Amino acid sequence: MTTTPDAAALAAALPELQQAYAELQAKGLKLDLTRGKPSAQQLDLSNALLTLPGTDVTRDDAGTDVRNYGGLEGLPQLRRIFAELLDVPVEQLLAGGNASLTLMHDTLAYAALFGFPASPKPWAREEKVRWICAVPGYDRHFAICEALGFEMITVPMTEDGPDAAAIAELVADDPTIKGVWVVPAYSNPDGAVITEEVARALVSMPTAAPDFRIIWDNAYALHHLTDDEVTTPNAIGLAAEAGNPDRVVMVASTSKITFAGAGVSFWASSPANVAWFTKHLAIATIGPDKVNQLRHALFFGSADGVREHMRKHREILAPKFEAVVEILEARLGKYDVASWTAPRGGYFVSLDVVPGTASRVVQLAKEAGIALTPAGATYPHGRDPENRNIRLAPSMPPLTEVREAMDGVATCVLLAAAEAGSA
Amino acid sequence: MTTTPDAAALAAALPELQQAYAELQAKGLKLDLTRGKPSAQQLDLSNALLTLPGTDVTRDDAGTDVRNYGGLEGLPQLRRIFAELLDVPVEQLLAGGNASLTLMHDTLAYAALFGFPASPKPWAREEKVRWICAVPGYDRHFAICEALGFEMITVPMTEDGPDAAAIAELVADDPTIKGVWVVPAYSNPDGAVITEEVARALVSMPTAAPDFRIIWDNAYALHHLTDDEVTTPNAIGLAAEAGNPDRVVMVASTSKITFAGAGVSFWASSPANVAWFTKHLAIATIGPDKVNQLRHALFFGSADGVREHMRKHREILAPKFEAVVEILEARLGKYDVASWTAPRGGYFVSLDVVPGTASRVVQLAKEAGIALTPAGATYPHGRDPENRNIRLAPSMPPLTEVREAMDGVATCVLLAAAEAGSA
């Protein structure tokens, strides 16, 4: 971990670092590590979708005309493939539109407007709704809470998932706490993988709120970067075993499998929750885009087809992540000014710099033409109390640019540390 | 209009009609006139979409990679085409996913959760929200109101659109009345076309609610059945002229232009409302499916491409609507037991039968293998106070089946009238 002495020690090198930074600025870079976007090379892997489902292919394997209205639950042919991959019964899995973000938002919007079956009242009518966020975490999760007026309570993210003991203590007596976000596999940004022990704790802990929900955002379930292809616990099954069948709502998507903006999404939960969700969905939609769902089913063919496809992503992505870690190690390893993750999957490297300097690092990088995710983005309301965490997203630029950008980021981290040390 | 004497007069023919009905049942039909679905033949008109955007076509005409995240407002290349067709400035028009229903739902859900900028509070926090529905009308509009807890107030639908004088009187003093549905072109089910006079009245009338909204559901703007291709007033422009720029929210879609379940949708309003809607949309989505939007832009090419395409729909649809009207006239014209519309566009024929018998007609039809929209569906909560209106949707079945179904429906209308007359 960071200690100020080493930032102080760096203070002596301030003039050299300022010179290095001036040289960095002189390069006139224009690089972007802000968001977890797939690169064009990754998107190309799915270009077969651009001419699918194919000339006069209008029906799925059950004979349904995919062009017309209907089929609220999504195309069975596609749901079967992802039911296997996500380890849920197909009848508990819905296939939706192009974003699991929309499914998460709508789940909580329906809770606000109508409540879950077990809710004493619609959440929008509660005096206060609180929601647990493990930090660092995903900014779009926080944005949904903020928009819906949920007060966010933070708990630490650990290597094994959210701090289950801290959560259990919070929810035991406080009925205003209605839920928690969990990114079970390769969490955003820490790359943590939840253990079965943590999962069991979360699905079985007593909660004061009768309608407590875990939004199990399985965004990176299949997004391995190493041979250690982790599997995450089947939270929906574990919750049912624990006598809390309705506690878990899982979402996933192909946004980082096929096309980021034109994929398909998935929503899974208990049969009672599926009935609840589809009841409200039926008011808002005429059914998902089944042509796009068929396009995906034909493209993949099977669950193994998806797994095989993900290995092609890994071939493109893994070198970029290795480069990030390698450069951080080479440039910063000898100082005690930063720590970082070496993720086994997902889309992010989480970088902790000298406390108080994250926003300065991001500013320095910006002024040198390297766009980083805003400091604080991994905390509710964009406020990192220690101003320390930076989320690095190396997927989008080509490998040479990732290297160039990371070398620049390292310079900025050192300069900010030296500035802090000499202040 | 219907008068009971003629139903009474028919009573004498009850045995013959019962015999005719028995023969109808003996045919073992299986026909469906329930919903306004395009037929397979119509869907085939857009089959080029099944292989678009085409091999390695990944960018729109501005160079944007349509496969990746982003572009909340929708693809400019597509928005330009529909801005011309819908007569709104392109910067006030958003392109969305596969359903304008979703856009209508989300507009009102955001109003419930957050309120419009001019709202004293989020609508979900109001003691009561009321909404005006012209009847007969569209069941999915009513379902949204019902789900959100809006109390529905009915006004008559006229040939020129909703009864503007009745609406103006209602809204002048009652701040709980927050809006009205309008289907300006070829209304569902009556086929009414709003006049500029009615439109001007609606956009300029004083309303007690500062956040009163007209949801201008332009579902059938381009869906002509005759050479009399009506144009509907530019409500957004007229509202701005009248000093109420934020009053109108327009939606439209290609659900009945390309693929019913895999089209694109549009949302248009004032600049202030666009800012409001996109602010909330940004929490819920990573942007619409731009690949599908490019697919559509390439398929149409231009606004004229859309107009030309709609003429092909008309060639398929017009004979079906002519058949409905012709058979109703031939079978029922000599009796005073029913009246019906002869629409110039849209997807429905509205049939009024002997008051009190609509549900009986639907039941008789069902038992003869002809599925009709449930009686009452064109009224809030599915309750037609006169039990008189039936919505006929002849688009889906082939022409021969439309003829067979309508002949059966006519028998059911007569039998139900005779039963009522002899009761």
Q: DSSP readout, B171-219?
A: HHH-TTEEEEEE--SS-TTT-----HHHHHHHHHS--SSTT-EEEEE-T
B136 prior amide bond cis, ω within 30: yes
Q: Please write the tens of the pLDDT for every residue from A184-207.
A: 999 999 999 999 999 999 999 999
Q: CA nearest A147 in B: which residue?
A: B283
Contacts of B292 in chain A (CB under 8 A): 262, 289, 292
Helix (H) or strand (E) holding B328: helix B303-332
Q: Cα–Cα distance between A85 and A74 in angstroms, integer?
A: 16
B43 touching chain A per CB within 8 A: yes
Q: What DSSP line would sit under A220-261, residue for residue? A: TTT-BSSS-------HHHHHHHTT-TTSEEEEEESTTTS-TT
Contacts of A109 in chain B (CB under 8 A): 109, 113, 284
Contacts of A47 in chain B (CB under 8 A): 55-56, 58
Beta pairing class for B265-268 and B93-96: antiparallel
| A98 with B97: Cβ contact below 8 A | yes
Query: Is the domain of B141 the same as that of B243?
Result: yes
Of B2, B5, B7, which is closest to residue B415 (Cα–Cα)? Answer: B7
Q: Please write the tens of the pLDDT for every residue from A45-54.
A: 999 999 999 9
Contacts of A147 in chain B (CB under 8 A): 114, 280, 283
Banded model confidence at residue A279, pLDDT cuts 50, 70, 90 = very high
A312 domain-assigned: yes
In the sheet where A93-96 sits, what is the strand order?
A93-96, A265-268, A248-253, A213-217, A177-182, A130-135, A151-158, A161-162
Q: Please write the tens of the pLDDT for every residue from B312-362.
A: 999 999 999 999 999 999 999 999 999 999 999 999 999 999 999 999 999
Q: Cα–Cα distance between A141 and B135 in angstroms, integer?
A: 42
- How far does the CA of residue A218 sit from the closest CA of chain B (Å)? 17
pLDDT, averaged across chain B? 97
Contacts of B313 in chain A (CB under 8 A): none
Task: Indicate whether A1 pLDDT > 80.
Answer: no
Contacts of A148 in chain B (CB under 8 A): 113
Task: Indicate whether B34 pLDDT > 80.
Answer: yes
Domain stop point among B242, B277, B301: B301
B55 touching chain A per CB within 8 A: yes
- How far does the CA of residue A115 sit from the closest CA of chain B (Å)? 12
Contacts of B289 in chain A (CB under 8 A): 97-98, 261-262, 289, 292
Across B62-176, the runs of DSSP E, i.e. the strands, are 93-96, 130-135, 151-158, 161-162
| A261 with B292: Cβ contact below 8 A | no
Contacts of A144 in chain B (CB under 8 A): 283-284
Mutate to test the interface with B, among A289, A292, A294, A395 (most CBs of B within 10 A): A289
Among residues 315-354 of chain A, which lie with CB inside 8 Å of chain B?
Answer: none
Q: Please write the tens of the pLDDT for every residue from B104-156.
A: 999 999 999 999 999 999 999 999 999 999 999 999 999 999 999 999 999 99
Give the closest of A51, A143, A261 to B287, CB-based: A261
B284 touching chain A per CB within 8 A: yes
| B69 with A112: Cβ contact below 8 A | no
B179 touching chain A per CB within 8 A: no
Query: Is the domain of A264 the same as that of A390?
Result: no
B43 domain-assigned: no
| A97 with B97: Cβ contact below 8 A | yes
| A99 with B255: Cβ contact below 8 A | no
Beta pairing class for A248-253 and A265-268: antiparallel
ipTM at complex level: 0.97
- Which pLDDT does position B401 carry in this prediction? 96
> How far is the CA of B175 from the CAs of A63, A420, B153, B206, in angstroms?
51, 58, 14, 11
Instruction: Check if the beta carbon of residue A294 is closer than 8 Å to that of residue A78.
Output: yes
B1 domain-assigned: no
B40 domain-assigned: no
Q: CA nearest B284 in A: which residue?
A: A102
Contacts of A121 in chain B (CB under 8 A): none
A167 domain-assigned: yes
Query: Is the domain of A150 the same as that of A13?
Result: no
Of A318, A315, A244, A300, which is closest to residue A85 (Cα–Cα)? Answer: A300
Question: What is the mean predicted confidence (pLDDT) over A69-92?
Answer: 98
Residue A167's contacts (CB-CB under 8 Å, 6 or more residues apart) are: A132, A155, A180, A202, A205
Contacts of A140 in chain B (CB under 8 A): 283
Domain stop point among A274, A301, A328: A301
Instruction: Check if the beta carbon of residue B214 is closer than 8 Å to that of residue B183.
Output: no
Helix A139-147 / helix A100-114 crossing angle, nearest 10 deg? 20
Give the closest of A124, A259, A284 to B291, CB-based: A259
- Which pLDDT does position A8 carry in this prediction? 84
A125 touching chain B per CB within 8 A: yes
B333: domain CATH number is 3.90.1150.10
> How far is the CA of B109 from the CAs of A106, A277, B148, B149, B382, in angstroms?
10, 15, 7, 11, 22
Q: Please write the tens of the pLDDT for every residue from A153-173.
A: 999 999 999 999 999 999 999
Query: Is the domain of A333 the same as that of A368?
Result: yes
Banded model confidence at residue A139, pLDDT cuts 50, 70, 90 = very high
Question: What is the mean predicted confidence (pLDDT) over A254-276?
Answer: 98
A286 touching chain B per CB within 8 A: yes
A43 domain-assigned: no
A120 touching chain B per CB within 8 A: no
Structure tokens at A165: 């003991």
Query: Is the domain of A134 the same as that of A225?
Result: yes
Query: Is the domain of B222 the same as that of B340?
Result: no
Task: Indicate whether A4 pLDDT > 60.
Answer: no
Residue A333 belongs to what domain range? 7-33+307-422
Question: What is the mean predicted confidence (pLDDT) over A30-58?
Answer: 96
Give the closest of B49, B57, B147 to A283, CB-based: B147
Residue type at A126 in one-letter notation: E
- Which pLDDT does position B1 carry in this prediction? 43
Query: Is the domain of B27 the same as that of B121?
Result: no
Instruction: Check if the beta carbon of residue A53 is closer than 8 Å to that of residue A46.
Output: no
Identify the sign of the CA torsion A355, A359, A363, A365: positive
Banded model confidence at residue A5, pLDDT cuts 50, 70, 90 = low
Of A370, A371, A390, which is closest to residue A379 (Cα–Cα)? Answer: A390
Among residues 73-102 of chain A, which lie with CB inside 8 Å of chain B?
Answer: 97-99, 101-102
Mutate to test the interface with B, among A50, A73, A121, A188 (most CBs of B within 10 A): A50
A254 domain-assigned: yes
Instruction: Check if the beta carbon of residue A37 is closer than 8 Å to that of residue A260.
Output: yes
| Count of structural domains, chain B | 2
Q: Please write the tens of the pLDDT for every residue from B247-306.
A: 999 999 999 999 999 999 999 999 999 999 999 999 999 999 999 999 999 999 999 999
Mutate to test the interface with A, among B259, B278, B281 (most CBs of A within 10 A): B259
Residue type at B335 in one-letter notation: Y
Residue B206's contacts (CB-CB under 8 Å, 6 or more residues apart) are: B168, B171, B172
- Which pLDDT does position B423 carry in this prediction? 80
Contacts of B129 in chain A (CB under 8 A): none
- How far does the CA of residue A99 sit from the closest CA of chain B (Å)? 6
Domain stop point among A237, A272, A301: A301
Give the closest of A55, A106, A286 to B50, CB-based: A55
Query: Is the domain of A175 the same as that of A261?
Result: yes
B48 touching chain A per CB within 8 A: no
Q: Cα–Cα distance between A303 and A305 in angstroms, integer?
A: 5
B56 touching chain A per CB within 8 A: yes
- How far does the CA of residue B331 sit from the closest CA of chain A (Å)? 32
- How far does the CA of residue A242 sit from the closest CA of chain B (Å)? 31
> How far is the CA of A110 from the CAs of A106, A344, B148, in angstroms?
6, 35, 10
Q: Cα–Cα distance between B191 and B343 in angstroms, integer?
A: 5
Helix (H) or strand (E) holding B31: strand B31-33
A280 touching chain B per CB within 8 A: yes
Structure tokens at B90: 């392109």
Structure tokens at B134: 């012209």
For residue A26, how many C-alpha atoms fall within 13 Å in the half-sphere facing its CB? Answer: 6
Q: Please write the tens of the pLDDT for every residue from A120-136.
A: 999 999 999 999 999 99
Among residues 257-276 of chain A, which lie with CB inside 8 Å of chain B?
Answer: 259-262
- Which pLDDT does position A28 carry in this prediction? 96
3-class secondary-structure state, position A154: strand
B179 domain-assigned: yes
Q: CA nearest A104 in B: which residue?
A: B284
Query: Is the domain of B259 the same as that of B368?
Result: no
| A261 with B291: Cβ contact below 8 A | yes
For residue A405, how many C-alpha atoms fall within 13 Å in the half-sphere facing its CB? Answer: 27
| B102 with A288: Cβ contact below 8 A | no
b (16+ CB within 10 A) / e for A23-60: ebeeeebebbbbbbbbbebbbebbbebbbbbeeebbeb
Query: Is the domain of A105 the same as that of A249?
Result: yes
Q: Please write the tens of the pLDDT for every residue from B193-232.
A: 999 999 999 999 999 999 999 999 999 999 999 999 999 9
- Which pLDDT does position A2 carry in this prediction? 44
> How far is the CA of B359 from the CAs of A36, B1, B8, B260, B329, in angstroms?
56, 18, 19, 28, 21
Q: Cα–Cα distance between B125 and B121 in angstroms, integer?
A: 7
Banded model confidence at residue A423, pLDDT cuts 50, 70, 90 = confident
Contacts of B288 in chain A (CB under 8 A): 98, 261
| B65 with A50: Cβ contact below 8 A | no
Contacts of B124 in chain A (CB under 8 A): 112-113, 122, 124-125
| A267 phi and psi angles, rounded to 5 deg | -135, 125
| B382 phi and psi angles, rounded to 5 deg | 70, 25
Beta bridge partners of B249: B215
Q: What is the largest CA-CA distance in chain A?
A: 74
Query: Is the domain of A368 the same as that of A389?
Result: yes
| pTM exceeding 0.90 | yes
B103: domain CATH number is 3.40.640.10
Instruction: Check if the beta carbon of residue B179 is closer than 8 Å to that of residue B213.
Output: yes
Beta bridge partners of B350: B391
| A114 with B290: Cβ contact below 8 A | no
B63 touching chain A per CB within 8 A: no
Query: Is the domain of A204 the same as that of A283?
Result: yes
- Which pLDDT does position B87 carry in this prediction? 97
Contacts of B65 in chain A (CB under 8 A): 40, 43
Q: How many CB pairs under 8 A join A and B?
A: 179
pLDDT, averaged across chain A? 97
Beta pairing class for A161-162 and A93-96: unpaired
